[in-house]
């Protein structure tokens, strides 16, 4: 689930199908598309393909919801047009809601999700060369025009957004009482989640994902042990893939120095709508492994 100032961006669902049909009933929304989605069956087929497919965790189709109304549709998925399965962004807002800045809000939220939450090295967009509104929106969001090409049967501008700017988390540093023990638990978990070793020195090590890294260090200046109930760091929360991925990590975690917290309420200790596991290691460091599921297209 993603949030913008006025919008909620949630995974597309099967029961959104008729709302999507109504959205694309306006001819203007298909003006720059290869297919005429004013045809209800074509619009339904687009939704069906999106719900049936698979792609990397965190990518897929989103419904843009204002109040309880579906007002738009967006995607962030491996491109079917650009080489190398690079991530491609797209956005559509219904004609009745255009001119209110909603498309900008939604596209900005998707872009932030891709670059800052998922740590993608870049996000690409293909915008029809005559679609002045979308080109202006892309420029407003900081996408760079790097050329043009024939895509979807017509000439499109090729645009790219790169990480940068202030705001995203740079790194977290944890002072630990026993470096080998921290590497055995925290290091194992980060590697299992796709982080790679970044730096190493006599009293510490770090692992990096995207632009963010986590340090564990047994500093000579450290005083006392970690107490997550005292003022300071309580826990790290990490995206951990699907619910099945979370359970696989929980099953392996005991062998790497972790214990499952709140076992009587697992996997909803954080609330009925959140699927997560809470783990604690021998030195009292807590991590929260949060599951996220997103339907994706198959082309």
Cβ atoms within 10 A of the Cβ of 229, count? 8
What integer is the mean pLDDT of 267-289? 95
Residue 169: band (very low, low, confident or very high) from pLDDT cuts 50, 70, 90: confident
Window from 85-89, 175-179, 295-299 with minimum mean pLDDT: 295-299
Sequence-separated (6 or more) residues with CB below 8 Å from residue 155: 128, 129, 148, 149
Domains of the chain (ranges, CATH numbers): 2-161 (3.40.630.30), 171-290 (3.10.180.10)
- How far out from the chain centre does Cα 20 lie? 23
What percent of the chain clears pLDDT 90, i.e. is strictly above it? Answer: 75
Other CB atoms within 10 Å distance of the CB of residue 23 = 24
In three-state secondary structure terms, 182 is helix
Residue 241 has pLDDT above 90, yes or no: no
Q: How confident is the model at residue 189 (pLDDT cuts 50, 70, 90)?
A: very high
Task: Name the one residue in this structure whose structure tokens are 């082309």.
Answer: 299
pLDDT at position 4 = 86
The β-bridge partners of 217 are: 175, 204
Q: What is the mean pLDDT of residues 131-135?
A: 93
Count Cβ atoms below 10 Å from residue 61 Cβ, excluding itself: 25
- Give pTM, 2 decimals: 0.61
Tokens 């998925």 belong to residue: 77
Q: If pLDDT is split at 50, 70 and 90, which confidence band does 187 have?
A: very high
């Amino acid at each position: 689930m993603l949030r913008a100032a006025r919008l909620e961006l949630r995974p597309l669902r099967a029961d959104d199908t008729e709302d999507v049909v109504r959205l694309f009933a306006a001819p203007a929304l298909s003006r720059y598309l290869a297919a005429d989605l004013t045809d209800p069956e074509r619009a339904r087929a687009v939704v069906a393909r999106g719900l049936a497919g698979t792609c990397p965790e965190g990518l897929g189709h989103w419904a843009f919801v204002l109040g309880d109304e579906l007002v738009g549709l967006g995607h962030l998925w491996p491109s079917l047009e650009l080489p190398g399965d690079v991530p491609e962004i797209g956005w559509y807002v219904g004609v009745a809601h255009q001119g209110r800045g909603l498309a900008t809000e939604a596209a900005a939220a998707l872009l932030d999700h891709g670059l800052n939450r998922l740590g993608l090295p870049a996000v690409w967009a293909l915008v029809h060369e005559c679609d002045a509104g979308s080109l202006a929106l892309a420029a407003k969001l900081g996408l760079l025009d790097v050329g043009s090409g024939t895509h979807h049967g017509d000439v499109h501008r090729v645009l790219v957004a790169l990480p940068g700017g202030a705001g995203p988390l740079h790194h977290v540093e944890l002072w630990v009482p026993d470096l080998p023990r921290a590497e055995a638990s925290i290091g194992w978990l980060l590697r299992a989640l796709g982080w790679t070793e970044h730096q190493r020195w006599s009293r510490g090590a770090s692992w990096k994902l995207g632009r963010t890294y986590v340090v564990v260090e047994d500093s000579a200046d450290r005083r006392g042990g970690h107490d997550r109930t005292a003022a300071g760091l309580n826990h790290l929360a990490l995206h951990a893939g699907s619910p099945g991925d979370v359970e696989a990590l929980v099953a392996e975690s005991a062998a790497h120095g972790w214990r499952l917290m709140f076992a009587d309420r697992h996997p909803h200790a954080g609330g009925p709508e959140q699927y997560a596991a809470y783990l604690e290691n021998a030195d009292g460091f807590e991590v929260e492994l949060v599951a996220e599921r997103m339907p994706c297209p198959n082309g």
